[in-house]
Structure 1
Amino acid sequence: MTSKEGAAIIEAILFTMGDSVEISALAKAMDVNAKEVKESIEYLKTKYESEDSGIGIIELENAVQLCTKKEMYEYLVKIAKTPRKAVLTDSLMETLSIVAYKQPITRLEVEKIRGVNSDHAVNRLVEFGLIQELGRLDAPGRPLLFGTTEEFLRSFGVKSLEELPTVGAVQVEEFKAEAEQEVNVKLDI
């Protein structure tokens, strides 16, 4: 099977499914190996980039999805209802950051880091589909473990968690200084 033939099959599967499809599932459906699937995906990516196309392919961990290009958004909203965008407050962003960098993590661990009750923030992030329950911790009470979702990756434009920015030692010291300054201002020291 050529990359071109494989690309047509992948394109049809992704269009029909509408959601992300794992590369291993594509390989199984096409009766080829993952390397051949990846070659066909690269062919499709090149095709969509070189043509005046309104669609593209995004990679999410070990899956791919057909999507509209960002440049087409203004035309889409003219014909469809404007999608409900999740408004992420500072507390939601803070909670989401903690989950993204520390996952799998329990609600209690999030609260220890934030220093405040995080029930509402965690529930809203689950509602928005940005985090999900991953299972239970093998500890007394068996608390739920949370982690990010594919929707999180899509929303923040990253293929995997490895692409998240890292925090350097200098930034950590700056954050500590800012936090101390905020505490001192609140305490009027």
Structure 2
Amino acid sequence: MAEITPKQIIEALLMASEEPLNIERLHKIFISNNFILEINALRDIINELVEEYADRGIELKEVASGWRFQIKSDLSQWVNKLYEERPPRYSHALLETLALIAYRQPITRAEIEGVRGVVVSSNIVKTLLEHEWIRIIGHKEVPGRPALFATTKKFLDHFNLKHLDELPPLMEFTETLAAETKSEEISEMIQESEQENLSECALFDPYEGVTLSEKEEEITSY
């Protein structure tokens, strides 16, 4: 029987894992099995696998939580034919709230309501928290000390992002959110309300002139 190589081990681990694996986690697995493999060598193997899968139906992709194998986006419509269950549909209000948090984080519930002009339902916040797309990172130092919301690594993973500064233009992102629900009606509602609602975000933006990378650094420091 041929000797098992580090590349085969890494490929198997990434295939079997239900969540992304970062370099440190992979390295610890090798150490726990008394297998000596330098981190730089591990990174080289990852890069080799990325190239090997470049022309296949699946790809090795790095997201916020680490590396994972996934179906290439342009093939998802074919894979979806395997599943009869309809994807969950999210309301216009939920998608708009998520977009505001993603682009104006950290942000309070009152600030979201000020932009949208309506009360943010507790069910919306609960749903986003249960999906682990948002989290409470602290409290704003104003009367009542309201919670500050920001997105999570799971949010980045779900949308195939590694960092916040990889967020696409707002219109493109809202279209992606709408596609998640398979609802043309939601997409149209978002497009109609984008200028009216989201352009007002600057009224509450405590990071005017600050890059998304700098925001991310401050958010992760909480």
Please tell me the TM-score bracket, short chain as reference. 0.5 to 0.7
| Structure 2 portions without partners, runs of 5+ | 32-36, 171-194, 198-222
> Are the equivalent residues in 2 in contact too, given 1:23–1:62 (CA < 8 A)?
no
CA contact (8 A) 1:18 1:66 kept: no
**More moved, 6-15 vs 28-37:** 28-37
Matches within 5 A, 1:3-152: 5-31=5-31, 32-50=37-55, 53-82=56-85, 84-87=87-90, 89=92, 91-119=93-121, 120-127=123-130, 129=131, 131-137=133-139, 139=141, 141=144, 143-152=146-155
User: Residues 62, 121 of structure 1: CA spacing in aligned structure 2 closer, same or farther, 3 A cutoff?
Assistant: closer
C-alpha distance in 1 between matches for 2:6 and 2:105: 36
Query: 2:165: which partner in 1?
Result: 162
Please give the TM-score of this superposition, normalised by the length of structure 2: 0.58
CA RMSD of aligned residues (A): 3.2
Corresponding letter in the other structure for 1:45: V
Contact 1:131–1:146 (CA under 8 A) maintained in structure 2:
no
Count, aligned residues:
163
Query: Aligned partners of 1:118, 1:155: CA distance in 2, in Å?
Result: 23
Q: TM-score, normalised by structure 1?
A: 0.66
1:96-124 deviations in Å (ceiling 9; x for gaps): 12211232333233223333211343333
Q: Which secondary structure does the structure 2 equivalent of 1:49 belong to? A: coil
* Identical-residue share of aligned pairs (%): 31
How far 1:161 sits from its partner (Å)? 0.9
* Number of the residue aligned with 1:153: 156
**Could you tell me whether the CA contact under 8 Å between 1:133 and 1:144 is conserved in 2?**
no
Please report how far the alpha carbon of residue 150 of structure 1 lies from its aligned counterpart in structure 2 after TM superposition. Answer: 3.7
Q: Secondary structure at the match of 1:21?
A: coil
Structure 1 equivalent of residue 216 of structure 2: none
* C-alpha deviation, 1:143, in angstroms: 3.8
